[in-house]
Amino acid sequence: MSIQANESPESSATGDLAGKHIVLGLSGGIACYKAAELCRALIKAGATVQVVMTEAAAQFITPVTMQALSGRPVYTSQWDQRETNNMAHINLSREADAILIAPCSADFMAKLLHGRADDLLSLMCLARPIDSVPLLLAPAMNREMYAHPATQRNLFQLQADGATVLGVGSGFQACGETGDGRMLEPDQLLDDVIAFFAPKPLAGQRVLITAGPTYEAIDPVRGITNLSSGKMGFAVARAAREAGAEVTLVAGPVSLPTPRGVTRVDVKSAQQMFDAVSARADAATVFIATAAVADWRPAAASVQKIKKDGSGEAPQLAFVENADILAAVAGSTRAQSGALFCVGFAAESHDLLAHAQAKRLKKGVPLLVGNIGPATFGQDDNALLLVDAAGSQELPRAAKLHLARQLVATVAARLPKTLKNHHEN
């Protein structure tokens, strides 16, 4: 057996931040109400959380609330006498794996930019060891404040100074206006924090992924599809993004949210998926085909609904074979030269190993991932079989995200040296 799966995080969200200690800083803003849910989410993901609040933040949510949620006393003053050396700004920053300011107001960003330190939270950010305690910012403000040139200059310079800005959401704001500047939702921030701490073996790689079923129209209301939910492919897209890749996800008709930081292209039919992949394959360095693509489509879809005619006879449908997306990409000049690493998926109903081995050879890919379709379609867990030229390896049933992280680590370890060297230079 030649395939070695690297260790990955726990199979459930409860372990994604295990062992991490996060200082959660709150500056003034109505988005402080989201910090309560964020605090709980971080703890559920395995982190310990120390809350530090500015005086302005305490006007929007009480320290009592944050203490109850974090299970730790909340710090609000640089003169807090609970610290025996009266140096809370030193002690709290040295204990942290990261400082996350959420919400981070326009005023607080200006403080950080100029190195002002007139309260505990800004003092702590200034006193933190820059090389070992990263600073993550979740801006939250009115759309005009966010768009103001001064704010945009501050954001740019803070990133240049080493801070990680997690972006903003867009939508209805407390002031009644609509636009950019909302603090990201707690689940989005949690995904970003998890991704921040994840190893980056795919940094510099451009990963193209297909996911979900395809739908082949018979008439305007009927069609041929399959039971694929797309969950495995979406998990692979998230895992690849966590691993540092630039990810494009070509998705068939599914009802799943787009993973954070992933570019999504929605398609319906196999031909549309083929066209979308063909248009983007030349820019990719890794192609992972998880989609359950229909093998055939009706030769000609009726423009009107096909109705029963009372004869008891079913309509006669002629079928044509769809283009083979994986085989086409794997047979391209870039794939054959080692500039594009291809991974295929096989959803089978029986004899998984034999079918997976045969499909790997037929498609001409270095790595084929097999699973039993009826046992995984629509489920949140799966079991995978990795097949290459030298053997096979089973990945036991686990959450799909856990398996996706294992697969991404395996792919990263197997990339040709030319791809690794190119993106490390």
Q: How far apart are CA 164 and CA 245, in angstroms?
A: 17
Identify the CA nearest to 295 among candidates 317, 276, 277, 320. 320
Residues composing the chain: 425
The token pair that represents 412 in the structure block: 């990263």
For every residue of 96-127, DSSP letters joined together read: -SEEEEEEE-HHHHHHHHHT--SSHHHHHHHH
- Contact between residue 3 and residue 393 where contact means Cβ atoms under 8 Å apart: yes
For every residue of 229-266, DSSP letters joined together read: -SHHHHHHHHHHHHTT-EEEEEE-S---PPPTT-EEEE
264: which DSSP letter? E
Q: In this structure, are strands 381-388 and 367-372 parallel, antiparallel, or unpaired?
A: antiparallel
Identify the CA nearest to 323 among candidates 247, 210, 227, 218. 210
Distances (CA, A) of 242 to 2, 106, 230, 260: 25, 28, 18, 9
Catalytic entry in 39, 104, 175, 342 = 175
> Could you confirm whether 175 is annotated as catalytic?
yes
Report the largest interatomic distance among the alpha carbons of the chain, rounded to a whole angstrom.
92
User: Which residues, in sequence order, are bridge partners of residue 368?
Assistant: 344, 387
- Contact between residue 100 and residue 136 where contact means Cβ atoms under 8 Å apart: yes
DSSP-derived 3-state class of residue 288: strand
Residue with tokens 């009592």: 64
Q: How far apart are CA 346 and CA 348, in angstroms?
A: 6
The token pair that represents 245 in the structure block: 């890749």
282: which DSSP letter? G
Identify the CA nearest to 290 among candidates 364, 335, 244, 346. 346
Identify the CA nearest to 123 among candidates 103, 134, 108. 108
Give the distance from CA 321 to its chain's centroid. Answer: 34
Alpha helix segments (H runs only) across 99-221: 106-114, 120-127, 143-147, 149-160, 186-197
Close Cβ partners of 242 (under 8 Å, ≥ 6 residues apart) = 194, 195, 198, 405, 408
Catalytic positions = 175
